[in-house]
Structure 1
């Protein structure tokens, strides 16, 4: 299914030609809360920088590996600055709880106060500190603490991926026949070298970037929908 958002850790550099599990999903976005938790077009990027913030240490990863914080960061990236009360209406949490999570995200350098927003000085507005975030899973392999933190974060993101697709399946009828027919989800097992896997990933990203330029020309009310795109390709962890 690029940046709160990574598939399970890819260990391509450790393999010389394994079978590869490849999944490509595109779907009309059924749930803005789940969507915002992941990406509008590309909020998380695995090992690639697109004007993003690098998530480098275990403390940052632990701060982010929480479902409410994932949702807060995604909403701020997709919808712009928000107060805790505004975020709470979408996430269904008390403003005090939201403020706590925003403070934790701020401590990790992922969000910041937006002092230029609002007219009521008693309100604290928050904004995302970066357009996207990324980390390289290979860099964690020699650091046990960071490996544990990265795995916890990857699992949290994977659960959001799964919940997003399940929400689409549950609500597909609300989009109508044409949107359901245009949506796609597929998987295939290939056998590739490390270099070929890397090249395929580069091609996937190039295709998404080309369509991101088309996306940028659309706006609400012009017949378009937000569409969630996810691609995953990694050595197949078959049992």
Structure 2
């Protein structure tokens, strides 16, 4: 069963496993589905079941996902779930060697492109969502003058706020009216 604890990824092999485009898509699809089989995920990502099964096993080998309890009587089906509700990746854990730094850069660029694609898809499909959801959607940008320590503290505080809402949703007895929601926050220094 997935734990609510966030895992800080520091192992190069785990980051390499996550830095694969299909694996990152599978992680997101599995997170949204809560539990799924390779066949169900293959339909979502439009790939062959055998390829999806291979990549799911790679993610499981690194503790990113795990086998879930069977959801049907068919003993041939293998069910999967995410092993952690969230994970973080930090530059400071990968800057000690060129291969580690390159893998970190590849992963963060891939994750950012995925966020952009998700948001663009929402913008394209926005009119299909009910007014209640369109009004609730958030697109904000803040520019603040902070020290590195203040930025770190702000990131930690915002992470705690989001974790509180995630725990609230997980504890809710019903799922009526709930949708998967992507919340992205980026904080980084910039100069003119």
TM over 0.5: yes
Give the aligned CA root-mean-square deviation in angstroms.
2.6
Which of 177, 200, 209 aligns to 2:154? It is 200
Change beyond 3 A, Cα 1:210–1:129: closer
Q: TM-score, normalised by structure 2?
A: 0.83
Within the alignment, does 1:77 sit opposite 2:31 as a pair?
yes
Note the residue ranges of structure 2 that are not aligned, 5 or more in a row. Answer: none
CA distance in 1, matches of 2:83, 2:55: 15
Aligned pairs, number: 190
Structure in which a larger fraction of residues adopt strand: 1
Q: Secondary structure at the match of 2:185?
A: strand
User: For 2:81, what is the secondary structure of its paired residue?
Assistant: strand
Q: Determine the C-alpha separation between the residues in 2 that align with 1:114 and 1:165.
A: 30
Structure 2 distance, partners of 1:117, 1:180, is: 34
Structure showing greater relative contact order (alpha-carbon pairs closer than 8 Å, 6 or more residues apart):
1
Task: Determine which of 30, 54, 68 is the counterpart of 2:22.
Answer: 68
Larger helix percent: 2
Residue 232 (str. 1) matches residue 190 (str. 2): no
Equivalence for 2:93: 139
Find the residue that maps to 1:190 and give its secondary structure: coil
Deviation at 1:196, TM superposition (A): 1.6
Does 1:123 pair with 2:77? yes
Gaps of 5+ in 1: 1-42, 44-48
**TM-score, with structure 1 as normaliser:** 0.69
Q: CA deviation at 1:118?
A: 4.1
Structure 2 vs 1, CA of residues 179 and 119 (structure 1 numbering), >3 Å: closer, same or farther?
closer
Specify the alignment match of 1:220 in structure 2.
175
